[in-house]
Amino acid sequence: MISFTPSTQVFHLQGETYSYFMQVRNGILTHLYWGDKLPDADISLLIPETKAYASFDSDYNRLPYEVPTQEKGYFSQRALNILNAQGDDVLSLRYQGHRILPGKKALPALPAAYAENDAETLEIDLRDDLTHVLVTLSYTVYQGFDVLCRSLQIKNEGTAPLRIANVQEACVFLPKGEYDMLHLKGSHCRERHVLRSALPRGSFSLDSRRGASGHENNPFLAVMERNADEHKGQVYAMTHVYSGSFRLSVDTSIDDRPIMMLGMNPDVFSWHLEAGESFQSPEALLVYSAQGLNGMSQRFHKFIRKRICRGTWRDAPRPILVNNWEATYFGFNEEKLLEIARRGAEIGCELFVMDDGWFGKRDTDNCSLGDWVVDQKKLPNGLKPLGEKLNALGLQFGIWFEPEMVSPDSELYRAHPDWCLHVDGRDRTQARQQLILDMGRREVQDYIIQAVCSVLESANITYVKWDMNRNMTEAFSCVLPAHRKLESQHRYMLGLYRVLEEITSRFPHVLFESCSGGGGRFDCGMLYYMPQTWTSDDTDAYERIGIQYGTSMVYPCSAMGAHVSVVPNHQTNRITPFETRCNVALGGNFGFELDLSKLSDEDTQKAKAAVQLVKELRTVLQQGTFSRLIDPSRHDNLASWQFVSEDEDQVVVCLYQRRVKPNMQPERVYLANLQPHARYRLEGTEEVYSGAALMHIGLSVPHTWRDYESWVFRFRKV
């Protein structure tokens, strides 16, 4: 999978369908090619192009550096800025050697993709002799997965300290061309809407400075041929296995080549590196697809499901849950919870999740975060008997936490007012009336581990919703010296990851779902510890179609929490049919978030039918191949997506229509990824069609008199 040709000094990394070539030229590691898989020999075509540089040796700005830095005549954006003892950041990194190793090493203190005897890693050492900086680049290629993992480590081999001011762990020069870019834009309740625009000539960046990947910009960017769509065209995409602030950028080289980069956000990051110390960057995931956006997403989905998500729940069917948040908010007691749970059990749910409000004196959101002790007023019998009663109903017991936070009105804050991120002499900005703990501090980490573990040990709890409801302001640790203050955000992430590793490995049977005011921290860093994320606090079925559609660009459906809620919807006041709310929620990990005890008999029957359907389809929905068919941001009235089972025998097509229109034009949905010559029966009918017909003639959209109508078509190969 990885080879090095000494005569040409060319590295060739081969995935299942892509090739990635680099060349050492006069000691400089340069990028040659990323695209469709090529035989080794053909790369000679690229060599003359790079040879052309020989006559322009002074023109370093033309060199497609793998790791561009401040040196000689390179003027485009840099991947590394390291300030040396003299105060300059000139860095001439030159090739020292490389190793091709079986497997993949874990990254120190950071989440990263793992291997199961199916990977090979290339490590390349680059060194600056004057400052004694050693940069080790790491590239991992997999068999069976089409994702290239890339990270770097910086070692200070000198005797004086260094300051790392900028680290971009991935940088790729794309071929010159006309491109569009696509990213996922949003805010609270409007997460990950697809935004596609022409790639500008010049510089463009997507940032988070929030101390979380954030609602605003997901850490993902695709750059693609102008004519690429869901099914065709070349797409180059990046995301990373990190949950904090980031920068994703595209600069344009002097030769009009887009330079794509991903790394730490230099506005909120700096790192002091003592002699002998190393700094490890997060890991970037690079995907190339010649099959358009669906090809890109399918590569991400399979990899995230199998090489980012871990543990007992990776492949296990995810439980159908009922959560009490939108049903009761803070106003519940044991009796009320059990009333909802009983109805949940009757309709076939498998897990009851007790959301916010069970601890301290938390009757509103203005207190008690940090005091993880059960509220005796609401739950006089405590957690254990509640768990037993739920278990007796045939339900598992799940619980909500927001461990990274502290309310100013809490015992924890009164005891440790300096445990939050803050700057002396300035306001401690509150958001949702809470402050954020300094997770970089060991004593804070230990407190959280102890507090969460003791609750989990106190009852038969098998699910945790791990929430994080605000971003960082005054994001500085009071225990760090001035020259290390800008390390606070990254130290927070390292502390968080230590806490998550500790807790999730102590409770391997517990299913963890991450959340951040809905989907404010939907990233591979969190998915490494928790295989699912609450997609959005917006549970309106119509809005959710766009949110789930966008989320699916990178993340598999098995990673998305999706719940049926009440109408009028609490976020939009919109009324949608019960069946449509169910049909949208089955595009993720299905659950209910409403007071089931108030459901009409008719809706109870519909809820039962939906649960039954999800149970029948769960393997296809969670393990199958997902394709987007109709993009709601491009079609004025329809959206559609599709699942094909791993064995390719079953096909599930979900179709959503927004409004009834008078004298409607006939519309069609064209299926994808079927075997053209295979024949598929539409379940519940005797209708049998070839894969080719379903893909090229398509299904006609049925007529309806209802707004927000939806359909689920099931096909089985005959």
The single residue among 146, 355, 375, 631 that binds ligand GLA, judged by CB under 6 A, is 355
**Chain centroid, CA 40 distance in Å:** 34
Rounded (to 5) percent helix, strand, coil in the chain? 25, 30, 45
Q: How far is the CB of 541 from ligand GLA (least distance, A)?
A: 17
Q: Inter-axis angle of helices 442-458 and 488-506, to 10 degrees?
A: 30
Give the nearer residue to ligand GLA in terms of CB position, either 82 or 322: 322
537 given a catalytic annotation: yes
Q: Are 123 and 101 in contact (CB under 8 A)?
A: yes
Q: Which stretch binds ligand GLA (CB under 6 A): 86-94, 97-105, 144-152, 513-521?
A: 513-521
Alpha helices (H) along 210-350: 292-303, 325-328, 334-347
Q: Are 198 and 154 in contact (CB under 8 A)?
A: no
Q: Alpha carbon of 622 to those of 64, 225, 573, 653: distances in Å?
A: 40, 30, 30, 14
Give the nearer residue to ligand GLA in terms of CB position, either 526 or 671: 526
Catalytic: which of 128, 146, 251, 537?
Answer: 537
Catalytic: which of 438, 467, 523, 603?
Answer: 467
306 residue type, one letter: K
Give the nearer residue to ligand GLA in terms of CB position, either 301 or 362: 362
Give the nearer residue to ligand GLA in terms of CB position, either 349 or 620: 349
Interior CA angle at 487 toward 483 and 489, to 5°? 145
Q: How far is the CB of 611 from ligand GLA (least distance, A)?
A: 21
Q: How far is the CB of 536 from ligand GLA (least distance, A)?
A: 8
Indicate the residue whose CB is closest to ligand GLA: 356
Distance CA 409, CA 698 (A): 59
658 Cβ contact partners less than 8 Å away, ≥ 6 residues apart: 542, 632, 636, 637, 638, 707, 708
Q: By rule CB under 6 A, what count of residues binds ligand GLA? A: 12
Q: Which of 644, 659, 661 is nearest to 710 (CA)?
A: 659
Distance CA 300, CA 309 (A): 12
Q: How far is the CB of 312 from ligand GLA (least distance, A)?
A: 24
Give the nearer residue to ligand GLA in terms of CB position, either 50 or 469: 469
Binding flags for ligand GLA, 465-504, as an x/- string (CB under 6 A): --x-x-----------------------------------
At 145, list the tokens: 């997965």
Confirm or reject binding of residue 513 to ligand GLA (CB under 6 A): no
92 residue type, one letter: S
The single residue among 518, 550, 556, 691 that binds ligand GLA, judged by CB under 6 A, is 518
Give the nearer residue to ligand GLA in terms of CB position, either 400 or 463: 400
Q: How far is the CB of 478 from ligand GLA (least distance, A)?
A: 27
Give the nearer residue to ligand GLA in terms of CB position, either 298 or 533: 533
Q: What is the DSSP string of 302-322?
A: HHIIIIIS-STTSSSPPPPEE
Report the site for ligand GLA in 307-326 (rule: CB under 6 A).
Answer: 325
Give the nearer residue to ligand GLA in terms of CB position, either 266 or 518: 518
Going through 75-178 in order, the beta strands assigned E by DSSP cover 80-83, 94-102, 119-128, 133-142, 148-156, 162-173
Tallying the residues shown for the chain, one arrives at 718
Q: Which of 219, 251, 336, 253 is nearest to 63 (CA)?
A: 253
Q: Are 532 and 314 in contact (CB under 8 A)?
A: no
The single residue among 515, 526, 554, 671 that binds ligand GLA, judged by CB under 6 A, is 515
Give the nearer residue to ligand GLA in terms of CB position, either 305 or 563: 563
Q: Which stretch binds ligand GLA (CB under 6 A): 84-92, 311-319, 510-518, 633-641?
A: 510-518
Cis amide bond preceding 568, omega within 30: yes
The single residue among 534, 555, 590, 708 that binds ligand GLA, judged by CB under 6 A, is 534
Give the nearer residue to ligand GLA in terms of CB position, either 125 or 191: 191
Distance CA 582, CA 708 (A): 12
Give the nearer residue to ligand GLA in terms of CB position, either 207 or 326: 326
Q: Which of 463, 553, 473 is nearest to 514 (CA)?
A: 463
Q: How far is the CB of 334 from ligand GLA (least distance, A)?
A: 19
Q: How far is the CB of 319 from ligand GLA (least distance, A)?
A: 17
Q: Which stretch binds ligand GLA (CB under 6 A): 93-101, 472-480, 515-523, 706-714?
A: 515-523
The single residue among 360, 517, 546, 550 that binds ligand GLA, judged by CB under 6 A, is 517
Report the site for ligand GLA in 370-409 (rule: CB under 6 A).
Answer: 400
Q: How far is the CB of 278 from ligand GLA (least distance, A)?
A: 37
Q: Are 20 and 148 in contact (CB under 8 A)?
A: yes
Residue appearing with tokens 């009440």: 566
Q: How far is the CB of 212 from ligand GLA (least distance, A)?
A: 13
Can you name the residues that pair with 167 across neighbouring β-strands? 80
Q: Which stretch binds ligand GLA (CB under 6 A): 118-126, 144-152, 511-519, 635-643?
A: 511-519
* Dihedral-angle region of residue 9 (phi above 0 means left; psi in -120 to 50 means alpha; beta otherwise): left
636 Cβ contact partners less than 8 Å away, ≥ 6 residues apart: 658
At 536, list the tokens: 């959005």
Half-sphere exposure of 477 (CA within 13 A, CB side): 25
Q: Which of 463, 469, 405, 467 is nearest to 439 (CA)?
A: 405
Catalytic residue numbers read: 467, 537
Q: Which stretches of the chain bind ligand GLA, using CB under 6 A?
A: 325, 355-356, 365, 400, 467, 469, 515, 517-518, 534, 537
